[in-house]
Chains A and B, each alone.
Chain A
């Protein structure tokens, strides 16, 4: 009955008019930026992060969460109608979704995408509610050595599941850890890497870093490329409901996609993008007639769309229960919590049940709203796609600037964001995925703190990590992951998963 009681608390919080309004706002903004290529959930959440300071913590988190899963819905619209991924998590949806649209089945494809996202959203909300309490109880028994090892495992897994070169991803994490150390050392009071700049003594704010790297960096990257041609499917979308045939073909794909996405979302480094790629690959394997894929197979829309939504939602589990972010968006969520002085970790569930369960209940409500926002209102989003990027980037740039300024009302933060924008552009140009950097950045101070505590407990003996059974297990798992991924056979497979088609 605990489960029902908890959900009752949650819906009590989520159904207040204010929180309903923020869930709706989040879902709308999420859909908007999901539809628009060139701006993603990381940059948007980073921009709005400082503003949540003025809100109740639970309202702020409800809105930010809505942006994240709302973007998964919106991304599919652009993928289907324009053959451009609105988000990286809808890259594979382009393949079959756009083919369906060209065959005049755009309405069907959009409906399948929205409905499978909704189904996955419902299931994964239930999963969070079911698995979060036991996990956070486990988390509460962890000491400093266990936490340190858990973070090591988390970072290693994030690398393994990221695409591109593993060594570079590790280097990006280390770079993030280093950026995280800028400022005053809480333990000794000494300043580090501050160049004697007063503004840097408090460290770099996570919102400034994220807006710079993902917001400004993305703008520069987009402008440095010639503007792409957008051919929106011009035909009027008539039938916004799947045919019986579509239902028959897709229900198994939705179930498989939801299951796979839910599992991959919980893993550190997982989340929406990986889930959608993996689900598409799995569906092709399971199909009795793989040649249909790439020619408008409805499973090719249903599987990745359910998987990316499931993955987006279950990635909240480690963040909410252990305080460990699995991806860059969750790292920003932790930033949102700390803005309000809430220490992320297993104690959140017991100390702030309203926040915890309210957010989970709002996810289900938000998913319901998203079906409405996406299906009947599809015409509005199609119109938005006609806004050329040359107008859009000015607005994004301005919102980045104001967002950074409001972090702590300082003009110097805007300059810092401009600097990180150039850094972000250079890194993207050099094929260095910046997402692991944000993870390292958020975990850096936490890891140092836990390392210090562990060393104090053990009297300076690093063997403590091997003597505690849980810690040892986590470290062995991390080492195994690294070894496995370095094997040539697996490496080939890993690259295949990230290739589209």
Chain B
């Protein structure tokens, strides 16, 4: 086989993996297999006396089958490739980090600090936000949230850090 031919073949396989149907098929299969593994000790019971594991295991097997079908469909030559999204990692990481930080800090540091942290970390998701804009956004959101949730609805969320 010539070098260019081998190159084309490897690119073909790589392209195939970058198809939504192939990836989602694999994802469904993985979730189903994981579910089956997790539920391996759940009592299944009989149709008359269904155990804890009856319905979950049934659903996992169905999902496994569906995953295989989706995977096969994705391997057809007509399947569409994945659309590109250049900013994905940045967005995924900073949005997740912002939420986790918010959850961890709300009860200990209070609403004000939690909002500052959420906007600060969340703002990293896009290059479009300038530092001053972020600060203004945080300030505006603090006022808005205090007005709606603390003043308006009377939620019992600590506003300031508890010493």
Contacts from A to B (Cβ < 8 Å): 51, 54, 165, 167-168, 170-171, 174-175, 177-178, 181, 185, 187-188, 190-193, 216, 219-221, 223-227, 388, 390-391, 393-395, 397-398, 400-402, 405-406, 409, 411-415, 417-418, 421-422, 425-427, 429-432, 448, 451-452, 455-456, 459-462
Contacts and interface: CB of A to CB of B under 8 A. Distances in A.
B55 A414 contact: no
Interface string B14-48: 00000011011001100100010011001100111
20 contacts: A168-B70, A171-B28, A174-B63, A175-B31, A175-B63, A178-B35, A178-B63, A188-B52, A193-B38, A220-B92, A227-B128, A394-B119, A394-B141, A397-B122, A409-B156, A414-B99, A414-B106, A415-B103, A421-B99, A425-B88
Given A398-B115, A421-B99, A192 B106 contact: no
Nearest to B156: A409
Given A393-B122, A460-B47, 19 more contacts: A171-B63, A171-B70, A175-B31, A178-B60, A181-B55, A192-B56, A193-B35, A193-B38, A219-B95, A221-B85, A223-B87, A224-B88, A395-B144, A413-B103, A421-B96, A429-B20, A431-B20, A431-B21, A448-B55
A263 B6 CA distance: 56
A165 B21 contact: yes
B103 A167 contact: no
Nearest to B96: A418
B5 interface: no
A459 B48 contact: yes
Most B C-beta atoms less than 10 A away, residue of A185, A190, A402, A427: A402
Contact of B42 (A178, A192, A388, A413): A192
Interface of B: 20-21, 23-24, 27-28, 31, 35, 38-39, 42-43, 46-53, 55-56, 59-60, 62-63, 66-67, 69-70, 73, 82-83, 85-88, 90-92, 95-96, 98-100, 102-104, 106-107, 115, 118-119, 122-123, 125-126, 128-129, 133-134, 137, 141, 144-145, 149, 153, 155-157
A17 B95 CA distance: 40
B40 to A, nearest CB: 12
A433 to B, nearest CB: 11
B145 A402 contact: yes
Interface of A is mostly: helix
Contacts of B49: 460
A190 B51 contact: yes
A177 to B, nearest CB: 5
B16 to A, nearest CB: 14
B99 A417 contact: yes
